[in-house]
């Protein structure tokens, strides 16, 4: 019988995540994640550049419920300068160590990296190109605004690109998506 560690001594395990992004800097966003379960809850906030570097300017972590092991919060702060790119989970795990709450903090940092891929900062004049609702223009904005999108899925593959002009393609994109006010 499989006995997951999170179910040891209980019948149910639940983890709750809340995450949001704030447009707090001219060149960066603040991504905040709160992650909690029955044992502890933490908050991680990261100020980072958008694509392509996803470089962390500053990072902080605090316990909301339960304790964090020594060095976990300092390890998060030490991630300043790192990019939230390939290898980030490993770097986060090394920085936070293996003490109490470290694994939860690493999971929150992964969620921050996911949030970072959902926002962009383009010059307003470039983002204004989306105002016409032209899907081809928005596709081009997407693939240049997020350098990790090309060939990441069908939509941004050569096969997806080839569909433009062969059928109706629609987009809900607006300039504020590419250049938040």
Model pLDDT, residue 169: 85
| Average confidence (pLDDT) over 4-12 | 88
Contact (Cβ atoms closer than 8 angstroms) between residue 56 and residue 47: yes
Q: Whole-model pTM?
A: 0.87
Percent of the chain scored above 70 by pLDDT? 100
pLDDT in tens, 61-98: 999 999 999 999 999 999 999 999 999 999 999 999 98
Model pLDDT, residue 1: 73
- H-type helices in the chain, by residue range? 72-77, 88-96, 102-116, 124-127, 135-145, 158-161, 175-178
Contact (Cβ atoms closer than 8 angstroms) between residue 112 and residue 44: yes
pLDDT in tens, 119-178: 988 999 999 999 988 999 999 999 988 888 899 999 999 999 999 889 888 888 889 888
Band (20; pLDDT cuts 50, 70, 90): very high
pLDDT > 80? residue 181: no
Query: Is 2 or 90 the better-scoring residue by pLDDT?
Result: 90
Model pLDDT, residue 89: 98
pLDDT in tens, 33-64: 999 999 999 999 999 999 999 999 999 999 99
Q: How far apart are CA 101 and CA 98, in angstroms?
A: 8
């Amino acid at each position: 019988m499989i006995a997951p560690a999170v179910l040891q001594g209980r019948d149910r395990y639940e983890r709750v995540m809340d995450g949001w992004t704030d447009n707090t800097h001219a060149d960066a966003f603040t991504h905040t994640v709160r992650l909690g379960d029955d044992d502890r809850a933490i908050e991680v906030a990261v100020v980072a550049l958008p694509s392509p570097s996803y470089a962390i300017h500053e990072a902080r972590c605090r316990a909301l419920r339960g304790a964090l092991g020594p060095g976990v919060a300092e390890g998060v702060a030490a991630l300043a300068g790192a990019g939230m790119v390939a290898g980030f989970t490993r770097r986060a795990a090394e920085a936070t160590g293996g003490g109490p709450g470290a694994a939860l903090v690493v999971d929150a940092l992964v969620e921050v990296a996911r949030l970072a891929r959902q926002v962009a900062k383009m010059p307003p004049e470039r983002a204004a190109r989306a105002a016409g609702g032209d899907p081809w223009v928005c596709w081009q904005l997407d693939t240049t605004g997020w350098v990790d999108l090309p060939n990441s899925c069908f939509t941004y593959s050569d096969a997806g690109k080839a569909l433009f002009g062969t059928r109706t393609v629609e987009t809900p994109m607006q300039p504020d998506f590419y250049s938040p006010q």
